[in-house]
C-alpha cells in the first residue's frame, strides 16, 4: 500500500480581498505552497490537480480547474473541479490522496478557492442556501442560519447545552484568529457581545456565524517514499474518510447529529489506527458556533450531547487537552467556501511541523492532527488524519 | 496493481425529456445499471460515487452529488460532483477508476446527468459559452459554434479538408443514431441538407452541431478480481488518460489540434499497451462535426490533417475498419453535458459485450474499445480504453 505525504502548503490571507480575482488568489496560494517545499519542486513534476470551488462568478467561469492550472503554468496536467458545497476542497484533498494511493500518480495538487465578496449579500445568501435541500428547506423558507439555529435549540433542549457554551466557541476561535495574520476577523470578542449581537436566527447572532470571505489554499501531496527527498518534515496522511447524508434535516435520524461527519470520522480513525484520544490538534468546520460542538461529538472528543462541556472546561483552547481551530476556524479565520478544506490542511501541516510563525498559536508537541470539513448542513463531510 | 472492470451500465433515453427532472433522470440510469449486472449487486455494496454535472438549474441545486445518491437509496456513501464542462462525467469515470486502483474501494459508481431543456435558449447559450476562455473568447464576442467554425476553416485551409468531409460526419452519425432508440435525433440526413442548413457560424450549419439534451448515465466499476462474481462478461478498463490545455484557442500551439486530447490519448494507449490500430470501436466527442475529425487525429486513427479522409473512405462507419460513434455520437444521440462521458462508456460496454439490442448497430467482433470526452473547446480531455 502506497503512503501519502503532504510536502508543501500555501494559503492566501482570508478576507475581503477586493484587489484579487480568482486567478490571483489561486496563484498566490500555489506559489506559496511550492516555496514551502525546502528542497524545491519543479512544478512540471506535478501530475494531476483536484480543485474545489463552489461559485463561479454567477456562473461566468467554466472549465475553472483548467483555467487555474493554466494560470500557474501547469497547463496540460489533468485537472478537474470538485464541487461539494463547503466541503469542496476537503473532497479535492481526498481525491488527490486516492490518486497517489492508486499508484498511477506520484505528485498531485489539491486546492480550492472562492471569491465571495464581489457578489451582493442577496446573491451570496442565495447560492449558499442551495446546499441544503432546496425543495424541502429553502423553498419552505429556511436557510443555513435557520437550520443551524434549529439544531442549536434542539441541542439545548435535549442535552441542556447552554447558550454560553455555544457562544464560547466564538470567544475561543476569535482569540485564536486574533493572533493569525491570515485570518479575516482578527479581534477578540467577549461572550456577552456574541450573545447580544444582531440576531440571525434565534438563538444565533451574527457573531455565531462565519463571515463572507475570499481566499485560496493549496496542498502538494506526494508518495510517502519520496517525501524525504523534498523535505525533512513531511506530514503523512494516515486516514481519510468521507460520507453523505440526507440533505434535509427532517429526513435524518436526529437533527442534532451530523451522521455524515460521524461516518467520515469513523472511517478515518479506522484507517489511521488511532482514536479521538490520540488527536493533538484539530481544525473543524465551525460555520456556526453550534457546528463546532457537533464536530466534537462526531469526532469522539465528547460524548453525544456533551460538546458544550469542552468549551466550558477549556479543553479545546490552544493550551487545552485537544486544541481545536488554532487558526481561528471558519468563524474568525474566515470561510471562503471552496478554499476551506485545504485551508484546514494548511493549518494542520504547520501545527504538526511545529513551525507556526505566531508562537502563541502553536500547539505544543502536536504529532497527530485532524481536519473535519462539512458541506451544507451535513449533506457531505470529509475527515483527514495526519501524522508528523 | 489492481485491475478495474465495469460490471453494469445504465442510461436514460437522451432527448427533450420534459416530464423528468434531475432526480428521475439519475434514478432511471442508476436502476438500469444495477439491473444490468447479471448476478445482481446489493446497492449497499457501492462504496463511493463520482457524479458529473455542469449546470444546476440556474444554480438552484447545491450538494447535488449527495442529492443524487440520496435519491437512489445510497445515502451515506461519499459522493462528490465533478465539473469539467462537457467532460464532467469522463473525469468522474477516471476518478472512480483511480479510487478502485487505490485499493481503498472495491465497488464504485461513476455517472453524470444534465437537464438542459428547461432553460431558455439564451440561458443555455450563456452557460455553455463559459467553458471556453471567458475573458479572451466570450467577452470578445465568440462562442462555441464560432470557435469550432474557426477551427474548421483553418483545417480546410491548412490541410485541404473539404466541407463535404466535415458534413459527412453528420451523415454517418445520424445514420447510426437513427437506429438507436435512446438517441435524440433518430433520423437520417442527406449531405446536402447538412451543408445547406441554417448557418450557425460559417461553414458550420445547425446540422453540424449537437442538440440540446436531457439525460443521465451510470457505470458501476469494481475490482477486476471480483468482476466474474457479478457477470460472465465484465469489461476491463485497461487505460485512462487525461489532460488540460489553454482555454483560449489563440494561446495554443495550433488551433487545429486539441493538444489535451492528444495527451490524454497518449497516456491511455501507453497504460493499456495498445495503439490506434488495436481499437475496434470508439465513441468520440463530436459536439460539432469538425470535432470528430480532430478526434481521429488526436487518437491516431488518421495522421494530422487527414481526418477527413476516413469519412470519405467510410473507415469509421459501422462496417468500416474503425467504427466511430455507433451510438450516433453527441451529434445524433444527443449531448446532455454531464451525462455524455459515462454515456460513451455505456455504449462501449455494450459494443464490447456484443449485446447491442439493435443488431445493425453492433460492431462485429469488437474486443477493444475507446471513449474520448472533451470539455469546452479542448480545455479538458479524457480518454479511456476498454477490453472485453
Long-range contacts of B128-131 (CB under 8 A, 24+ apart): B128/A62, B128/B337, B129/A62, B130/A56, B130/A59, B130/A60, B130/A61, B130/A62, B130/A63, B131/A62, B131/A63, B131/B54, B131/B85, B131/B86, B131/B247, B131/B375, B131/B376, B131/B377, B131/B379
Convert the pLDDT of each residue in B228-254 to its tens digit: 999 999 999 999 999 999 999 999 999
Interface test with B, best of A26, A57, A144, A244 (most B CBs within 10 A): A244
How many Å lie between the alpha carbon of A265 and the closest alpha carbon of chain B? 12
Say whether A134 and B84 touch across the interface (CB within 8 A): no
Say whether A84 and B80 touch across the interface (CB within 8 A): yes
What is the interface pTM, i.e. ipTM, of the complex?
A: 0.96
Of B55, B368, B39, the residue nearest B228 (C-alpha): B39
How many Å lie between the alpha carbon of A283 and the closest alpha carbon of chain B? 20
Beta-strand ranges (E) seen in A213-342 are 215-223, 235-244, 281-283
Report pLDDT for A119.
Answer: 82
Q: Which of A155, A174, A285, A335 is catalytic?
A: A335
CA A124 to chain centre: 19
Q: What does the pLDDT average to over A335-344?
A: 98
Residue A111 φ then ψ, to 5°: -160, 180
Say whether B62 and A134 touch across the interface (CB within 8 A): yes
Q: How many residues does chain A have?
A: 388
Residue A320 φ then ψ, to 5°: -85, -175
Mean pLDDT of chain A: 96
B1, B58, B63: residue with CB nearest A380:
B63
Report pLDDT for B132.
Answer: 87
The answer to whether A335 is a known catalytic residue is yes
| β-pair type (A48-52, B380-387) | unpaired
Q: Determine the straight-line distance between the first and last CA of chain B, rounded to whole angstroms.
A: 19
Contacts of B62 in chain A (CB under 8 A): 54, 85, 127-132, 134, 376
Beta-strand ranges (E) seen in chain A are 4-11, 48-52, 79-83, 107-114, 199-201, 204-205, 215-223, 235-244, 281-283, 368-375, 380-387
Report pLDDT for A319.
Answer: 96
A342-358: buried (b, 16+ CB within 10 Å) or exposed (e) per residue? bbbbbbbbbbbbeebee
pTM: predicted TM-score of the whole model, two decimal places: 0.97
Chain B residue with CA closest to A60: the answer is B130
Host H or E run for residue B242: strand B235-244
Q: How confident is the model at residue A294 (pLDDT cuts 50, 70, 90)?
A: very high
pLDDT reading at A125 higher than 80: no
Interface test with A, best of B47, B55, B80, B114 (most A CBs within 10 A): B80
A95, A260, A264: residue with CB nearest B95:
A95
What does the alpha-carbon distance between residue A114 and residue A102 come to, in Å, rounded to a whole number? 29
Report pLDDT for B120.
Answer: 82
| β-pair type (A235-244, A199-201) | unpaired
Name the DSSP class of A25: H
Answer for the pair B177, B183: CB distance below 8 angstroms, yes or no: yes
Contacts of A380 in chain B (CB under 8 A): 63, 65-66, 78-80
C-alpha cell at A71: 494560470
What does the alpha-carbon distance between residue B128 and residue A322 come to, in Å, rounded to a whole number? 48
How many Å lie between the alpha carbon of B103 and the closest alpha carbon of chain A? 7
What does the alpha-carbon distance between residue A140 and residue A148 come to, in Å, rounded to a whole number? 15
Of A311, A271, A319, the residue nearest A295 (C-alpha): A311
Convert the pLDDT of each residue in A239-255 to its tens digit: 999 999 999 999 999 99
Say whether B130 and A56 touch across the interface (CB within 8 A): yes
Contacts of B134 in chain A (CB under 8 A): 60-62
Q: How many residues does chain B have?
A: 388
pLDDT reading at A364 higher than 80: yes
| β-pair type (A79-83, A215-223) | unpaired
Contacts of A144 in chain B (CB under 8 A): none
How many Å lie between the alpha carbon of B86 and the closest alpha carbon of chain A? 9
- A385: Cβ contacts below 8 Å, ≥ 6 apart: A237, A238, A239, A240, A268, A269, A271, A272, A274, A279, A368, A369, A370
Could you list the pLDDT tens digit for every one of the 388 residues in chain B? 799 999 999 999 999 999 999 999 999 999 999 999 999 999 999 999 999 999 888 777 889 999 999 999 997 999 999 999 999 999 999 999 999 999 999 999 999 999 999 888 777 777 787 888 988 888 888 889 999 999 999 999 999 999 999 999 999 999 999 999 999 999 999 999 999 999 999 999 999 999 999 999 999 999 999 999 999 999 999 999 999 999 999 999 999 999 999 999 999 999 999 999 999 999 999 999 999 999 999 999 999 999 999 999 999 999 999 999 999 999 999 999 999 999 999 999 999 999 999 999 999 999 999 999 999 999 999 999 999 9
pLDDT reading at A58 higher than 80: no
Chain A residue with CA closest to B376: the answer is A63
What does the alpha-carbon distance between residue A264 and residue A378 come to, in Å, rounded to a whole number? 11
DSSP assignments along B159-203, one per residue: H---HHHHHHHHHHHHHHHTT-TT-S--S---HHHHHTSPEEETT
Of A371, A376, A372, the residue nearest A386 (C-alpha): A371
Amino acid at each position: 500500500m502506497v503512503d501519502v505525504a503532504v510536502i508543501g502548503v500555501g494559503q492566501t490571507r482570508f478576507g475581503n480581498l477586493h484587489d484579487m480575482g480568482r486567478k490571483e488568489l489561486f496563484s498566490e496560494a500555489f506559489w506559496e505552497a511550492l516555496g514551502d517545499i525546502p528542497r524545491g519542486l519543479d512544478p512540471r513534476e506535478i501530475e494531476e490537480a483536484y480543485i474545489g470551488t463552489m461559485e463561479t462568478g454567477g456562473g461566468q467561469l467554466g472549465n475553472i480547474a483548467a483555467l487555474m492550472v493554466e494560470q500557474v503554468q501547469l497547463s496540460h496536467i489533468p485537472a478537474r473541479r470538485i464541487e461539494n458545497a463547503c466541503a469542496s476542497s476537503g473532497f479535492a484533498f481526498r481525491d488527490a490522496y486516492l490518486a497517489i494511493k492508486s499508484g498511477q500518480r506520484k505528485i498531485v495538487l489539491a486546492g480550492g478557492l472562492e471569491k465571495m465578496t464581489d457578489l451582493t449579500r442577496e446573491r451570496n445568501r442565495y447560492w449558499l442556501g442551495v446546499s441544503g435541500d432546496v425543495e424541502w428547506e429553502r423553498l419552505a423558507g429556511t436557510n443555513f442560519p435557520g437550520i443551524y439555529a434549529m439544531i442549536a435549540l434542539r441541542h439545548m433542549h435535549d442535552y441542556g447545552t447552554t447558550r454560553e457554551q455555544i457562544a464560547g466557541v466564538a470567544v475561543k476561535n476569535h482569540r485564536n484568529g486574533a493572533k493569525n495574520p491570515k485570518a479575516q476577523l482578527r479581534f477578540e470578542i467577549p461572550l456577552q457581545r456574541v450573545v447580544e449581537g444582531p440576531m440571525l436566527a434565534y438563538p444565533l447572532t451574527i457573531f455565531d456565524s462565519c463571515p463572507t470571505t475570499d481566499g485560496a489554499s493549496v496542498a502538494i501531496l506526494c508518495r510517502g517514499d519520496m517525501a524525504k527527498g523534498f523535505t525533512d518534515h513531511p506530514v503523512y496522511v494516515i486516514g481519510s474518510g468521507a460520507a453523505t447524508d440526507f440533505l434535509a434535516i427532517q429526513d435524518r435520524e436526529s437533527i442534532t447529529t451530523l451522521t455524515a461527519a460521524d461516518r467520515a470520522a469513523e472511517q478515518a480513525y479506522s484507517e489511521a489506527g488511532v482514536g479521538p484520544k490520540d488527536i493533538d490538534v484539530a481544525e473543524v468546520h465551525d460555520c456556526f458556533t453550534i457546528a463546532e460542538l457537533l464536530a466534537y461529538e462526531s469526532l469522539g472528543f465528547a460524548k453525544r450531547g456533551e460538546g458544550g462541556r469542552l468549551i466550558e472546561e477549556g479543553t479545546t483552547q490552544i493550551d487545552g487537552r485537544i486544541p481545536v481551530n488554532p487558526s481561528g476556524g471558519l468563524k474568525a479565520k474566515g470561510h471562503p467556501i471552496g478554499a476551506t478544506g485545504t485551508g484546514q490542511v494548511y493549518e494542520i501541516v504547520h501545527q504538526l511541523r511545529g513551525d507556526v510563525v505566531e508562537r502563541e498559536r502553536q500547539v505544543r508537541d502536536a504529532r497527530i492532527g485532524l481536519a473535519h470539513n462539512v458541506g451544507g448542513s451535513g449533506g457531505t463531510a470529509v475527515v483527514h488524519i495526519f501524522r508528523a
